[in-house]
Amino acid sequence: MDWIEILKALGVSTAGQILLLIAFGFWGRKLIEYFFSESIELKKIELQQSLELHKQKIEQENELIKLDIDKELEGYKNKLELLRLEYQVQFSKLHEKRSEILELIYHKLFDLNQAMLELTTFIRPATENPNKEESERLTSTNQVFHDFNTYYRKHKIYLTPETCIILDKLVKHYWVTGLDVAEVRNARELVPVDNSYFKDAMTRYRAAYKELRDEIPNVLLLLETDFRKILGVIR
């Protein structure tokens, strides 16, 4: 049974009715397709608008997050700058303090070295009371030594370990040299010059005298270089 017979069975018998029904079916299908197409297009537009709104919302949220992050970063930068300035001020004050301490240590060390050179000098002009003058030199040198040593010990914290090692060796040398000079003076008063005790004391005294003039200047030059590095005079 074809579709014409089906139409006749449904009561559609004339050609006009059939044509009308065919036309109605054709345009009805077109109308359905049109409305369906329009519905899809409207849905696409709705989805596109929804997507656009969602994108705008995400962009706004991202912008707000970026602003918050920039604000926090700016806060951290300000804190870091304050810390940098604080450290710079502290370092500047520390450097200024160290400079003052190093200057005074160097002055006191210079005075001590000069006093030790004077104390250990063998040949002196003749005087009325050489023993008294020698005793005064010992007392004066002892005072200069303790002045330097006390100041140095109180301010070691401002010095590098390498500087302290050099200064400790110098302090020890000056102390031992002072003892050797005092021992020679006492031996001269107590025993003859040909006594073994006096000879041993003079041997140590001469060794200290030689070291003071031959080796200590090199140590002082090394110390001066170390001081200049600390102060930033040289790199």
Lowest mean per-residue pLDDT among 91-95, 136-140, 148-152, 161-165: 91-95
Residue that wins the pLDDT comparison between 127 and 116: 116
Residues with Cβ < 8 Å from 11, sequence gap 6 or more? none
Question: Where in the chain are the domains?
Answer: 95-231
Q: Does domain 95-231 have CATH number 1.20.120?
A: yes
Burial environment of residue 144 by CB neighbours within 10 A (0 to 12, 13 to 18, 19 or more): buried
pLDDT value of residue 20: 54
Query: Rounded mean pLDDT of 120-126?
Result: 69
- What confidence score (pLDDT) does residue 147 get? 96
Tell me the whole-structure pTM to 2 decimals. Answer: 0.59
- Give the model's pLDDT for residue 67: 82
Contacts of 101 (CB under 8 A, 6+ apart): 155, 158, 159
User: Which CA distances in Å does 114 have to 35, 57, 88, 108, 140?
Assistant: 114, 84, 38, 10, 12
pLDDT at 215: 85
CA atoms within 13 A on the CB side of 108: 21
Q: Distance between CA atoms of 221 and 166, rounded to whole angstroms?
A: 11
Which tens digits make up the pLDDT trace of 144-199? 999 999 999 999 998 888 889 989 999 998 998 888 888 877 777 666 767 777 78
Return the pLDDT at 212. 82
Q: State the DSSP code for 232.
A: T
